[in-house]
Structure 1
Amino acid sequence: MSAPPVYLDTATAAPLHPVARQALLAALDDGWADPARLYTQARRARQLLDAAREATAQTLGVRPDELSFTPSGTTAAHAAVLGGLRGRHRVGRVLVHSTIEHSAVLHAAQRHVADGGEAVGVPVDRWGRLDRDAWSTAVAAPGVALATLIGASHEVGTVQPVEAAGAECAAADVPLHVDAAQLVGRVPVPTGWSILTASAHKWGGPAGVGLLVVRKGTRWESPWPTDERESGRAPGTVNLPTVVAAAASLRAVTGDAAAQAARLTPLVDRIRTRVAAEVPDVEVVGDPTDRLPHLVTFSCLYVDGEALLHALDRRGFAVSSGSSCTSSTLRPSHVLEAMGVLSHGNVRVSLHRETTEAEVDRFLAELPGIVADLRAEAGVTGL
């Protein structure tokens, strides 16, 4: 019998947490009505929505009226960037961002530029760490309306100096948006930000729920047509059962985050060490110290990324790559390009709450042979 499949792509989407499944099923019975109405079923739905908001806000350490639920993390990121810029258009039209932001943020920046604004990208080093001097200079320049910084890289795991970057923004009187999609539910959320976004399916909640937190006193104006839902920050009726499931699972994973980090960090260390030692011509990328506990990325020279992903999939391993030239992008990862690191044969492995040592060891045992076979097929031998 073939070995069972191994899911190692939590950075894209975490498996649905059991608490999320239970809460989702329970909320289907009472969460179908419109919470904005006044009849009995609607009032029950409103109670569920208020409870979900209160629980999520408490977990994040924010006020309930600062938190809005959006249809996705992407929608939350778009609203954070475009709304933050719109709220401060009298100050200026400059957006400062790192060069390794998530595509959702970069697409919002492109829209801003297309509308006549300006976007300034701040570089990172080969570990994916923000250039603090360049950041400080950029946010202090005239006309900066908003700065945005990813809390931790979704591709290489490097954790950014959010609190220090936030202090530099505060000194320049510039609000900071933090994309915390890889932080929330895994590590403590840093301070120093004005706007925060996250996505439920990254921590094991259902897909289709994003979080948008706008601190009191932050100038923010909705980029969408007027809508009274979610304090005017997210148009349309929320998918209440999924919101309830997201809130319940966030509380569960946050309570277990320290234990999970302690369990997964040694497994990631094992991958980093053995891949570098057992696969010739490989580069492990991302900060070796300031990094997420569950994610590791490496690149294999002389191997096509897409071919490597397919080969791993045939052996039962679900992983991601930042280098495969997919039909949608036809170019390597902008994150790896910005870091100036090898992008050939890139593999991102991200573990989850049920990943076992045996699964990691099986992956490490099979990887060298898979890479060697692909190199042999390409006519590259003797490494």
Structure 2
Amino acid sequence: MPYLDAASTEPLHPAARDALLAAIDAGWADPARLYGTARRAQMLLEQARTEVAEVLGARPDEVSFTSSGTQAVHLGVLGALRGRQRAGRHLVTGAVEHSSVLHAAEVHERDGGTVETVGVDRTGRVEAAAFAEAVSRPGTALACLQTANHEVGTLQPVAEATEACLAAGVPLLVDAAQSAGRLPIPGGWSVLAASAHKWGGPAGVGVLAIRKGTRWRSPYPQDERERRRVPGFENVPAIVAAAAALRARVVEEAAEGPRLSALVDRIRAEVPRLVPDVEVIGDPVRRLPHVVTFSCLFVEGEALLTELDRAGFAVSSGSSCTASTLRPSHVLEAMGVLTHGNVRVSLPRGVTDDDIDRFLGVLPDVVRRIRSSLGVQ
């Protein structure tokens, strides 16, 4: 089955598999202890931290490992807000942020804080001028902006947001989950979150980076692990594998990124030609190299995914974090585009031209059969 849902989770990279198997034998001990096997685990953990920090443009002591990208976002948002309570209790976010950011914002509101949501244009890009105006308001404690949208692939104006936040003296949390390992990480962030399974590392490893000088207080009870930022025992083998996958992915991306981007361009051009009443969504140029999203009129996304699965293709519809609720995607709603009949195709490393040929060959008949069953000609 061609797997076309890499934006949800990338298949485990071979470098990660090799590193994981080696680290299971060498890095199983408690890295906080002083005996030999523990010191070996600690060395592996710190080497992985150094490698990840280098890719992110951070210092090793600014990087902590969490149990997921979602936990990294929750800790980043709530910790930064808690650390800056004296500056204010106003939070600024984009309308198409990942649900983990929006849920953290809901907690902040329930605790008496305020949240301002900045809208997006029809491509899904946050309006930079409106974002700058929002962060300049008195009492703003934190701003959040993703590097690229997880549903439609549109790149966000992180450089402009960084300038606005610096001018206002407001820290910027950047959610780099979809772009880490695929695109260079923008500078100027104060807090950064990422997720290893998006770049071919094992699931269960997130990254939280906090710049020196950024005020941050953990919303959890204090724990001695991970510089008192993240509670719980570190999964050293998985962290080592995550670092190996990230390092390998960065090296490969110079060739793989343009190749995948060309395949996405082909899908963007061919789907509207082959299937009537289709809207291709997201910025066609300023986008992630591997993501393309389109919506088919008169078709339910769940039915389309089911039929494509039967035809042998693994794709997603809308937000993978809300698909089980059968609610329209908040991203598509904010963009003002079709929210039904939505398909997100996201290409993993190694996907072939033949895979895309087969997908484009199957899709028109799948859509036609679904529409026909609903009485749509």
TM-score (normalizing by structure 2): 0.98
CA positional deviation for 1:39: 1.2
Give the letter for the 1:61 counterpart: G
Q: List per-residue Cα deviations over 1:136-169 (Å, max 9, x = no partner).
A: 1100001100000011000000000101111001
Counterparts of residues 1-383 of structure 1 (less than 5 Å): 5-322=1-318, 328-381=324-377
SS class of match (2:325): coil
Q: Tell me, what secondary structure is at the counterpart of 2:34? A: coil
Equivalent residues of 1:162, 1:190 under 8 A apart: yes
Query: Counterpart amino acid of 1:106?
Result: L
SS at match of 1:265: helix
SS at match of 2:186: coil
Q: Distance in 1 between matches of 2:271 and 2:238?
A: 38
SS in 2 for 1:317: coil
Summarize the Cα distance change of 1:61–1:326 in structure 2 as closer, same or farther, 3 Å threshold: closer
- Paired positions, count: 377
- Quick one: distance in 1 between partners of 2:298 and 2:49? 49
Indicate if the aligned counterparts of 1:325 and 1:331 stay in contact, CA closer than 8 A: no
Q: 1:269 & 1:330 partners in 2: Cα distance?
A: 29
Shift of 1:248: 0.7
TM-score of the superposed pair, with normalisation by structure 1: 0.97
Coordinate RMSD, CA, aligned: 1.2
Q: CA deviation at 1:328?
A: 3.9
CA contact 1:323–1:333 (8 Å) conserved in 2: yes
CA distance in structure 1 between the partners assigned to 2:171 and 2:319 by the alignment: 33
> How far did residue 357 of structure 1 move?
0.4
Identity %: 64
User: More displaced, 52-61 or 242-251?
Assistant: 52-61
**Per-residue deviation, 1:103:** 0.5
CA contact 1:96–1:120 (8 Å) conserved in 2:
yes
> What CA deviation, in whole Å up to 9, does each residue of 1:21-80 have, x standing for no partner?
000000001111110011111111111111111111122221000000001111000011
Aligned-partner residue type, residue 10 of structure 2: A
Deviations 1:341-381 (A, max 9, x none): 01110000000111000000110111011000000001101
Distance in 1 between the 2:66 and 2:216 partners? 16
For the residues of structure 2 that align with 1:90 and 1:78, how far apart are their CA atoms?
Answer: 20
Whole-Å separation in 2 of the counterparts to 1:208 and 1:376: 42
Is 1:325–1:332's contact at 8 Å kept on the other side of the alignment?
no
- Contact kept, 8 Å, 1:282 with 1:300, in 2: the verdict is yes
Do the aligned partners of 1:97 and 1:148 also contact (CA within 8 Å) in 2? yes
Cα distance in 2 for partners of 1:325, 1:88 equals: 29
Cα deviation for residue 327 of structure 1 reads 7.5
8 Å CA contact 1:323, 1:343 repeated in 2? no
1:72 and 1:331 map into 2 onto residues whose CA distance is 24
Q: Give the Cα–Cα distance (whole angstroms) in 2 for the partners of residues 198 and 376 of structure 1.
A: 42
Query: What's the secondary structure of 1:312's corresponding residue?
Result: helix
- The answer to whether the 8 Å contact 2:10/2:199 transfers is yes
Contact 1:324 1:331 in 2 (8 A): no
> Cα gap change, 1:62/1:215 in structure 2, threshold over 3 Å: closer, same or farther?
same
2:8 and 2:320 in contact (8 A); partners too: no
Distance, in Å, in 2 between the alignment partners of 1:308 and 1:15 is: 23
Seen in structure 2, the aligned counterparts of structure 1 residues 344 and 137 have a Cα distance that, compared at 3 Å, is same
Separation in structure 1 between the aligned mates of residue 108 and residue 324 of structure 2, nearest angstrom: 23
Is the partner of 1:181 in helix, strand or coil? coil
Q: Which moved more, 1:221-230 or 1:5-14?
A: 221-230
Q: CA deviation at 1:129?
A: 1.0
Which AA in structure 2 matches 1:195?
V
In the TM superposition, residue 15 of structure 1 has moved relative to its aligned partner by 0.3
CA contact (8 A) 2:322 2:329 kept: no
SS at match of 2:17: helix
